[in-house]
Structure formats: structure tokens, C-alpha cells
Amino acid sequence: MRREVLEEYASLTPQVTLIAHGVGLSIGSFNDWEESYLRLLDELFARFDLEWHSEHLGFTVVAGENTGTMFPLPHTEEELDLVCERVRILQERYRVPFLLDHVIHLLPEAPAQFTPAGFLNAITSRTGCGLILDAYNLECDAYNQRFDIPAFLDELDLAPVRELHIAGGVRHDGFQLDIHSRPTCDSTLALARDIVVRSPGLRIVTYEFLKEAIPSLGHDRICSELTRIRQAILQ
């Protein structure tokens, strides 16, 4: 990990609590997950006391080759066994809570043995890991795949939800994309508020945006957006 990045993190502690949210582990790859990402995590945990860490429930590596984008996992018994074993390894290795974050489904749902919520429930009940719910991702799935958010939330065990993500994205060629670059929509905040009320173990809400979006969003807009989100969620 770049020294200047570690120094920046070090300058923030102990005033702030650090958590890590990864995109590069590829926890659902059929053979190897991304060992280089694990080494980065090792480095981070060796230097800092992270309160928890998390990763996306997807795969970006196939037989050692990067796919260039995140694919969601098929909701099958085979995938479930593989993910649960890797969650167990992470829990033993770092000894802090580990959370999984569902990703958007641009492609049609693959043949499955579980519903999306049933798959998450099976992982959390088998491993004791936590969840990140992403209100914007759910909205993307509803827009792109007619995903039934109310039915999903009714079926999902919300007790393991520790973190909530919200974001604003773009529509392009008829798709709602998880390119986090905009302020949040009112509908996202309303959904977030619903999740907050129903999730007893929720600890934090994160407003996600890409660093590439900072020039167009602007620092003032980001600050006012945080205020807006806080007010909407705490109302």
C-alpha cells in the first residue's frame, strides 16, 4: 500500500474510527480470491485498529484473470458454501466483524436455488457476519430488473445490518448505473429512512461517491448533501 496513503490514515487516528470497505477481494471466485488484496488488508490491520471491514458480494477474478467489472454471485448452494468458508477465514484472520455488501445486477438473474434475500440470510445465519445494505443499489435493481424491494426487505433478516450505503448515480442508455457521482434522490433517502427504522443493529450510514466525482459535485455540495442526508434519516 502506498506510504502516503498509510500516513494520511495515521494522521486521522485516533480522532476518527477507521473501517475498511473493499472492492478487490473477489470473494466469490470459483478458485482463488485476490491474494494481493489480502496482503493489502494484512498491511492495514498490522498498522491500524479497524472497527470492522467489509467487501462486495461478487467476483472480479476468474482463474486469475480480472473481469474488469463486478459480477454478482449466482444464488446457489455451491456458491454459498464457498463464500461461507471464505468469510470464516476472514473472521479468523482479522478477528473483527466482517460485513458483506450486495452489488447491483445489471445482467438477468442467473439460475438460483435461493432468493436474493434467502441467500444473504443463509450467509449471515451460517457465519454470523454482518451486512451492508445499499439503498441506491436496490433502486438500481428495481429500475433495471424490476426487483421487488419491499418483498426483499420483508424476507431479509435485518438484524445483521450494521451499515447502510446511499448514493446518487446516473441513467445511461436506459440503465440506472452504480457510478456514484451525484447527490442522492429523495426516493433513495426515503428508502434509507425505511431501512434505518427497521434495522436494529445499524451503526453508520455512508454517503458514497467516487473521487473522480468530487470536482463536479464540489466540496460545498458534498457537505450540504451530508446535512440533507442526516436530516432525512433522523427525522
Partner 1 sequence: MTQLEAHQRGLLDLIKSRGDPSDDPYLRRVAGSRELAMMREIAVWWRALQLETQCYFTSRLLKRLGCFDELIVTYFNRNATSPFVEELSRDFLAWLCSQQDPLIHAVSQFEHAFLEARAGSEEAFEVLWDRHPDLVFRALEDGGNLPVPEPGHVYRMRIDRGLPRMVDSALPVH
Q: Please give the residue ranges that form the binding site for partner 1 (CB under 8 A).
A: 24, 29-31, 34, 36, 59-69, 71, 74, 76, 78-79, 82, 106-108, 110-111, 144, 172-175, 177, 179, 212
What is the smallest separation between the CB atom of 61 and partner 1, expressed in angstroms?
8
What is the smallest separation between the CB atom of 73 and partner 1, expressed in angstroms?
9
C-alpha dihedral over 84, 88, 89, 92, to 10 degrees?
170
Contact yes or no for 30/82 (Cβ under 8 A):
yes
Retrieve residue 115's grid coordinates: 432468493
What is the smallest separation between the CB atom of 7 and partner 1, expressed in angstroms?
17
Residue closer to partner 1, measured from CB, 64 or 200:
64
* Residues contacting residue 2 through CB under 8 Å, at least 6 positions apart: none
Residue closer to partner 1, measured from CB, 77 or 154:
77
Residue closer to partner 1, measured from CB, 11 or 31:
31
Contact yes or no for 33/27 (Cβ under 8 A):
yes
Counted residue by residue, the chain has a size of 235
Residue closer to partner 1, measured from CB, 82 or 189:
82
What is the smallest separation between the CB atom of 53 and partner 1, expressed in angstroms?
18
What is the smallest separation between the CB atom of 107 and partner 1, expressed in angstroms?
5
Residue corresponding to grid cell 484473470: 65
Retrieve residue 211's grid coordinates: 473521487
d(CA 106, CA 71): 9
Residue closer to partner 1, measured from CB, 83 or 232:
83
